[in-house]
Amino acid sequence: MESKKQLIALCAVAIIIPCLINSRRQQPSPRAVNTSEFEADVIAAGNGHVIKYLENEQRKEKKAIRPSDYRVRPFNLSGKLKGLSDNQIDQKLGLYAGYVKKWNQIENALQTVSKENVASSYSPFRALKVGETYAMNGTILHELYFENLGTPGRTPEAATKKLLEEHFGSVQNYLDDLRACGLAARGWVLTCYSLYDGSVRNYVLDAHNERVPVMVVPLVVLDVYEHAYMIEFGTKRKQYLRVFANNINWPVIEQRVKKWVT
């Protein structure tokens, strides 16, 4: 029986080695291949190590686990906003940093979490995947929000003005719709350009990862969570919405419009 196994192994070597050599010779490679060295490796592999050789080759192709490393971006809005204090913005910046930290933790945990016994009712894998979109969107939406604050008292620039007039009738109609959505939403309002049909609409999100539209690009991002205005306005959200509209950084919106729409 042992001699039979050895015979089978030798037959396998006889078949595999020529295939490996011919395959390496025929396939183009982005770098020069030293055929003699490769053949020497295969010959060595033939001495009872064919399987180990193939396993080593496969192992080289596997991606190494790399720690997630999303960074907190700096936003200098101190003294640049009218009606929103530095304290109000600093509190939000602290929350934003927390989302970045959690996003990294979740992405790292997803690299090792078990995919066995996964269920929609509960499993560690499900919990991480749900938390992934919450932390990721919480990070990105805050960054877009901070970006589109500043230059108080400005009006939309040419491309943005034209776009809003085409889709809302006038800039004022757009702002009225934005405020109405701001009162209706529980989390965010996004003015988005649709890659699907080319429309521009305001969308209401109740959480970072709830009711998020698909195939759209955010042009204006408005945070209506209570922490966005409570220090300044208490529960008076209408006042906050007026102040937000006055602090929209229209040059940034113009850049987004030109990048994604025009």
In a domain, 149, yes or no: yes
Q: Are 247 and 149 in contact (CB under 8 A)?
A: yes
In this structure, the answer to whether residues 113 and 236 fall within a common structural domain is yes
In a domain, 72, yes or no: no
pTM summary value: 0.76
In this structure, the answer to whether residues 26 and 127 fall within a common structural domain is no
In this structure, the answer to whether residues 45 and 125 fall within a common structural domain is no
In this structure, the answer to whether residues 163 and 56 fall within a common structural domain is no
In this structure, the answer to whether residues 226 and 98 fall within a common structural domain is yes
In this structure, the answer to whether residues 23 and 126 fall within a common structural domain is no
In this structure, the answer to whether residues 262 and 155 fall within a common structural domain is yes
In this structure, the answer to whether residues 22 and 148 fall within a common structural domain is no
Split into its structural domains, the chain has a count of 2
In a domain, 133, yes or no: yes
- In SS3 terms, 121-173 reads as CCCHHHHHHHHHHHHHHHHHHHHHHHHCECCCCCCCCHHHHHHHHHHHCCHHH
In a domain, 246, yes or no: yes
Q: CB atoms < 10 A from the CB of 52, how many?
A: 10
In a domain, 67, yes or no: no
Q: Are 224 and 182 in contact (CB under 8 A)?
A: yes
3 state SS of 200: strand
In a domain, 71, yes or no: no
Amino acid at 144: L
Q: CB atoms < 10 A from the CB of 246, how many?
A: 15
Distance CA 230, CA 43 (A): 73
Distance CA 96, CA 71 (A): 11
Buried-state track 128-137, b at ≥16 Cβ within 10 A, e below 16: beebbbbbbb
In this structure, the answer to whether residues 97 and 216 fall within a common structural domain is yes
Of the three residues 28, 61, 94, the one that is the final residue of a domain is 61
Domain of 244 in residue numbering reads as 82-262
In a domain, 76, yes or no: no
121: left (phi over 0), alpha (psi -120 to 50) or beta: alpha
Distance CA 119, CA 86 (A): 45
pLDDT value at residue 66: 76
pLDDT value at residue 45: 40
User: Any idea which residue has 């990721």 for tokens?
Assistant: 136
pLDDT value at residue 7: 41
In this structure, the answer to whether residues 87 and 56 fall within a common structural domain is no
Which CATH number is 114's domain given? Answer: 3.55.40.20
In this structure, the answer to whether residues 187 and 142 fall within a common structural domain is yes
pLDDT value at residue 243: 98
Distance CA 66, CA 34 (A): 31
In a domain, 68, yes or no: no
pLDDT value at residue 137: 97
pLDDT in tens, the chain (262 residues): 545 444 444 444 444 444 444 444 444 444 443 434 433 343 344 444 444 444 555 554 555 567 889 999 999 999 999 999 999 999 999 999 999 999 999 999 999 999 999 999 999 999 999 999 999 999 999 999 999 999 999 999 999 999 999 999 999 999 999 999 999 999 999 999 999 999 999 999 999 999 999 999 999 999 999 999 999 999 999 999 999 999 999 999 999 999 999 9
In this structure, the answer to whether residues 22 and 144 fall within a common structural domain is no
- Using CA atoms of 91, 176, 259, 143 in order, give the dihedral in degrees to the nearest 10: 10
Fill in the DSSP letter of residue 72: P
